[in-house]
Amino acid sequence: MTAVELGLPGVRGTPETTTRPDSPLLVDKFGRVATDLRVSLTDRCNLRCTYCMPAEGLDWLPKPELLTDDELARLIGVAVTGLGVTDIRFTGGEPLLRPGLERVIAATAALTPRPRMSMTTNGVGLARRAGALVDAGLNRVNVSLDTLDPSRFHALTRRDRLEDVFEGLAAARAAGLTPVKVNSVLMRGVNEDEAVPLLRFCLEHGYQLRFIEQMPLDPQHAWDRDDMVTAEEILAALRGAFELTPEPGARGGAPAERWLVDGGPAVVGVIASVTRPFCAACDRTRLTADGQVRNCLFSQSETDLRALLRGGASDEEIAGRWRANSWAKAAGHGINDDGFHQPERPMSAIGG
């Protein structure tokens, strides 16, 4: 029985069992199974979104610490063939900045069973790469876009690249990287008035919009609950212009709660990570660009697979350490708990 079936709440829970079953899968004490792997390909980025990076960027990981393309491919192979991972999401930093991106995707596509593959990107430069990404085997993209206004985009990302993002979106749709999903973070006093325009834009172009509540993962540690635009506020704004009805069917492990827009078939999603945590249904495991496995965005510890890999460990040894990492997963992220501590790594270095 899973944690969801047990009705465990989002951020607290009693372990379902304390003895790990003899399973090859990434199971945890709360009955969850991680089948969705987020792979960060780089911590670098060509934008500087104010909520994600300071203007001068961050101290990038030194090259020798980054996994090579072959090391990445091997770890992804262990996850897919040895641990039951079925979905891979490439992210970063900005994954399009990784020169070997198509190589890593092609190596992943060659695995049996072949996992589904998607990528979260800011869309800059996507127009040029969309065809090659499809050829390599990528199935889908999520493009991050927080505003439709060029001067706001410049203020928000500290770069003048809105047109590139529009072109990237259109190219992704034309290349068949569908459904093209758009991720938006709304911030008070910055772009909170754009819920309706962003949805209209996505409906018009056939993109699927998902709003994401801002989480305490910024390097500046400036996140403030009062500045966060909540899912409730976003939904209230949308309901002023559209009729929203809950999409039939279970939410499953998917973080987005989805609504049919004006009766459907178009949908809009809201990822209420802070106000309505979905930890009880979480099916994720994460690999950072420097080869550390994390069982949660907010975990305080990591498992160093790079050291194992470079020390000559076998695939089965690596798989065993990965399983132990998942088994140690906490019930929830704890953002709403009194003693909450933000993890040391910011979002861009974990892989959003």
Residues in contact with ligand SF4 by the rule CB under 6 A: 45, 47-49, 52-53, 92-94, 122, 144, 348
Q: Which does 218 bind (CB under 5 to 8 A by kind): ligand SAM, ligand SF4, none?
A: ligand SAM
Using CB atoms within 10 A of its CB, is residue 146 exposed (0-12), middle (13-18) or buried (19+)? buried
Give the integer Cα–Cα distance in Å for 95 and 72: 13
**Which range, of 117-125, 174-182, 295-303, 334-342, touches ligand SAM by CB under 6 A?**
117-125
Interaction mask 213-232, ligand SAM, x per CB under 6 A:
-xx-xx--------------
Quick one: which segment of 16-24, 115-123, 275-283, 288-296 binds ligand SAM (CB under 6 A)?
115-123
CA dihedral for 324, 273, 164, 60, sign (positive or negative):
negative
Q: Is 92 in the site for ligand SAM (CB under 6 A)?
A: yes
- How many other β-carbons are positioned within 10 Å of the β-carbon of residue 73? 20
163: left (phi over 0), alpha (psi -120 to 50) or beta: alpha
Picked from ligand SF4, ligand SAM, none, the partner binding residue 175 (CB below 5 to 8 A depending on kind) is: none
Among 10, 94, 75, 93, CA closest to 37 = 75
| Residue in 3, 127, 169, 185 binding ligand SAM, rule: CB under 6 A | 185
Examine residue 183 and tell whether it contacts ligand SAM (CB under 6 A).
yes
What is the rounded distance in angstroms from the CA atom of residue 135 to the CA atom of residue 289?
A: 24
Rounded Cα gap, residues 161 and 47, in angstroms: 9
Residue closer to ligand SAM, measured from CB, 27 or 165 = 165
Length of the chain measured in residues: 352
Contact 209, 268 (CB under 8 A): yes
Nearer to ligand SAM, 36 or 218 (CB): 218
CB-nearer residue toward ligand SF4: 51 or 259: 51
DSSP strand pairing (36-40 vs 244-246): unpaired
Among 35, 42, 108, 144, binds ligand SAM (CB under 6 A): 144
Rounded to the nearest whole angstrom, what is the least distance from the CB of residue 27 to ligand SAM in the complex? 27
- Work out whether 343 is an interface residue with ligand SAM (CB under 6 A): no
Q: Which stretch binds ligand SAM (CB under 6 A): 1-9, 70-78, 116-124, 251-259?
A: 116-124
Among ligand SF4, ligand SAM, none, the one that 183 touches (CB under a kind-dependent 5 to 8 A) is ligand SAM
Residue with tokens 């999401």: 89
